[in-house]
Amino acid sequence: MNEEKYLICISGPSGAGKGTVVKALLEKHPEITISVSATTRQPRPGEVDHVHYHFITREAFEDNIQNQRMLEYNQYCGNYYGTLRPEVEKSILNHQVMILEIDVNGVENVKKVYPGALTVFILPPSMEELERRLSGRGTETQQVISQRLARAKEEMALADAYDVQIVNRDVDACVDELYSIIQERLK
Ligand code: 5GP
């Protein structure tokens, strides 16, 4: 399907600045959309239904699975999380670029359905910088930081499987690089 090129999967370890890059990309290029995932977990304070997630019941989520309405899904800490297929289909059929900010497993599953989706991995400039960013949040203990770093190393080992790798040295430069890669893809 030619429309698959409108689908962009973005992954990267915690601390690589992926969320910041995606947010800046959407602000600078409002024609680009992002998929809102569905989840069965409770909203956190400040989270808005249909903006941060579609907050749905377990029953509704399982009904979506049964009826092939989940493009991909996973369980995390006892809750379901997943991408709604109708939302993605609607966007790409309208030739509107849609970003999926999902992990490695999610990307593998999306590729089974849409092999032509572009996959992008956002990397930190170095492990030292990643460590600095993770510690800089100041909210986690040294033990949690070490766990996150170990997990980040595991995830980064999978970067080669992505179509494109972008090093996030500077958010604006990273956004511009990502945008030109997307534009090139659409030609
Ligand atoms: P949180 O509860 O912190 O918002 O998310 C928990 C985990 O679920 C994170 O690792 C997040 O990346 C993952 N997640 C969020 N949405 C999706 C989704 O649509 N699909 C998959 N596979 N994972 C998701």
pTM of the model as a whole: 0.90
Say yes or no: CB of residue 13 within 6 Å of ligand 1: no
CA 65 and chain centroid, separation: 20
- Substitution candidate for ligand 1 out of 42, 61, 74, 85 with most atoms within 8 A of CB: 74
CATH assignment, 2-186: 3.40.50.300
Q: What is the pLDDT of residues 64-113, one digit of tens each?
A: 999 999 999 999 889 999 999 999 999 999 999 999 999 888 999 999 99
CA 36 and chain centroid, separation: 10
> From ligand 1's centre to the CA of 187, what distance in Å?
31
φ, ψ for residue 118 (rounded to 5)?
-85, 135
Cα 69 to Cα 65: distance, rounded to the nearest angstrom: 6
Angle at 155 between CA 175 and CA 71, to 5 degrees: 75
